Structure 1
Amino acid sequence: MRDTRKDSDYFETLLIDFEVALNETQAALDNGNFTSPSERVDICQRLYQLAIMRAVSHYSYGAHLGDVRRYVLEILPYRKQLKDYCDKLPAPHQFYRNAFEKLGGQSDAVGSANINRYIYTLWWLSLLQACEADQAHIDDALAIIGEQGKDTLLDNIAIALGDTDRAVSPLLYYPEVYKTLNDTFTAEPEQQSALLNQFIEQWYAQLEDADWHENHECDCEFEYTDYYIGYWCFELSLVANILNINKDKLTPHTMLPIDLIKQ
């Protein structure tokens, strides 16, 4: 177990629930149970996000990274499916996809604040890098995420992961949360670890709009986003790996996925 807020029975039940939810929802989609194009997009978004939540839950449960990798690699097909169903929206309704595919400057989607799509994107990339996904797989993920030249942090991360021709935006979608992390890219080497330590200290408190904030206190789950999957600052481990920052320079923290940091 990597997580200490829930016991093994909780995660064992949760992982079964995720498998059932993914399989049954995908079958319903394939069988045409959802009649409107926008409803099918909603369902595809749910499947994509559930796939990310499942991978994170396996990490929290304590699975070997080789086993976590399997579930991380299964995220991309769900994201491609979301794009395919967005492409099928009627022309007058194409704007509807923005709330699901654009990571900043959009309204809520199915009751979920837009920053959630941004966070889950960073987590996905973090897990791909930590689990040593093939470069072709990472390239496909970056291509479908898009957003080139729109967010400094995402641009810096994408360039480090292989999108070397990418333009870099001067702006951040969510500076109130991510400015400190982004500053790490331009800081002097001796300042980088201090910035990462500063970032994680305020990370959770500043993410009150995240669907999963305070989910460890939720006993009755009414939506799939209510489930507690663990609080992990994966974006910090990703940046630490990109900048080759040694884990020994980071202050121990309950939300730091220390075993994902390579150095």
Structure 2
Amino acid sequence: MIRDQRRDEAYFSELLSDLDDALAETQQALDSGEFTSLSEQVDVAQQLYQLAIMRAVSHYSYGSDMASLKSSVLAILPYRQQLSATADKLPAAHQCYRHDFERLGGVGEACGSANVNRYVYALWWLALLVAVGAEKAHIQQALDIIGEQGNDALLDSIASRLVDTDRPMSPTVYYPTVYQPLLDAINSDGEVQAEHLNVFIRQWYDSLEDADWYDNHLCDCEFEYTDYYVGYWCFEASLVASLFCIPANAIREHVMVPVELLNN
């Protein structure tokens, strides 16, 4: 049963087919040497990684069963590993270029995309891994390649709760305007946790105007791969609720909460 209410079943069926084709064709072009410069190869590897995340989100919106969702989620890691491996090939003088793709905080951009996008995608990836029951070793690999140890209090708290128990903890969060209430939920107890989580969910979408996917439901034509509407889901909320034992009933009322992914 379709989970997103802004598009119909036919839309998501076609979208998933398009994303599968885009991933396969772009990967083939990368493998065949069609992209000749290393910087272009890094750009393409970044696009493939983000497309893999978009495909997994689309599977959830479409109503795919957990087996199909899990398959698409586990496929994200190899694309992210490919991005790092491709960036490793850049000459020493150009290694600074890769930071545009690997840094999650600050006001930098890559391919015209604000850093907050990479931050959100990292949290979505972790949320989906938890939701589909990925093995701890797989989650650890994802955390290792995301990096940012000791740089962001929210990511550090989530990673520590997952598998990275010796991780250094930052006292601050990269994007406090959006994510401080989510961190407050983690650092609170009892009913106060749910209160902070609800504050976060209520302002989540409106606070992310810089996200590539913001207002994508209004797009009739797609000019960039980030223009596709894949659904609006506050996966960050389901991740924190699941990891920190916040009752699902406390946040079920919000239409952007992926309730089927709540593990409590």
Query: Per the shorter chain, which TM-score range?
Result: over 0.9
In structure 1, the partner of 2:213 is 212
Paired position in structure 2 for 1:29: 30
Aligned residue for 1:253? 254
1:241 maps onto 2:246 in alignment: no
Paired letter, 1:103: L
> Does the Cα contact within 8 Å between 1:68 and 1:131 map onto a contact in 2?
yes
> For the residues of structure 2 that align with 1:145 and 1:120, how far apart are their CA atoms?
10
**Does the CA contact (< 8 Å) of 2:252 and 2:259 recur in 1?**
no
Match of 2:14 in 1: 13
Does the CA-based 8 Å contact 2:49-2:83 persist in structure 1?
yes
- Native 8 Å contact 1:72 1:127 kept in 2: yes
- Matched with 1:227 is 228
Q: Which residue of structure 2 aligns with residue 199 of structure 1? A: 200
Once the two structures are superposed, residues 54-109 of structure 1 have per-residue CA deviations (whole angstroms, 9 ceiling, x without a partner) of 00000000011222000000000000000001100111100000010110125110
* Partners of 1:98 and 1:106 within 8 A in 2: no
Q: How far did 1:243 drift?
A: 0.8
SS of alignment partner, residue 4 of structure 2: coil
Aligned counterparts of 2:107 and 2:46: Cα–Cα separation in 1: 15
User: Deviation at 1:258?
Assistant: 0.9
Partner of 1:189: 190
Structure 1 equivalent of residue 73 of structure 2: 72
> Whole-Å Cα distance in 2 between the matches of residues 106 and 98 of structure 1?
12
Q: Distance in 1 between matches of 2:88 and 2:203?
A: 38
Structure 1 stretches of at least 4 aligned residues deviating more than 2 Å after TM superposition: none
CA RMSD across the alignment: 0.8
Q: Hey, what's the Cα distance between the residues in 2 that align with 1:100 and 1:213?
A: 20
Q: In structure 1, how many angstroms separate the alpha carbons of the residues matched to 2:78 and 2:123?
A: 17
TM-score normalised by length of structure 1: 0.99
Give 1:32's aligned amino acid.
Answer: G
Gaps of 5+ in 2: none
Q: Secondary structure at the match of 2:22?
A: helix
Question: 1:16 deviation in Å?
Answer: 0.6
Residue 171 of structure 2 corresponds to residue 170 of structure 1: yes
Give, as a single letter, the amino acid of the residue that structure 2 aligns with 1:148: Q
- Do 1:197 and 1:251's aligned partners in 2 also have CA atoms closer than 8 Å? no
In 2, the alpha carbon distance for the partners of 1:102 and 1:250 equals 31
Cα distance in 1 for partners of 2:55, 2:176 equals: 28
Q: Tell me if the contact between 1:181 and 1:196 (Cα under 8 Å) persists in the aligned partners.
A: yes
Q: Which residue identity lines up with residue 82 of structure 1 in the other structure?
A: L
Give the distance between the partners of 2:102 and 2:252, measured in 1 at CA. 35
2:108 corresponds to 1:133: no
CA distance in 1, matches of 2:252, 2:67: 26
Partner of 1:57: 58
- TM superposition shift of 1:251: 4.8
The offset of 1:215, in angstroms, is: 0.3
Q: Any gaps of 5 or more consecutive residues in structure 1?
A: none
Give the aligned partner of residue 115 of structure 2: 114
CA distance in 2 between partners of 1:186 and 1:46 (Å)? 35
The letter of the residue matching 2:44 is I
Q: Who is 1:103 aligned against?
A: 104
Q: State the aligned residue count.
A: 263
Cα distance in 2 between the residues matched to 1:55 and 1:166:
28
* Residue pair 1:180, 1:195 contacting (<8 A) in 2 also: yes
Q: 1:19 to 1:63 in 2, by over 3 A?
A: same
- The percentage of aligned residue pairs carrying the same residue is 59
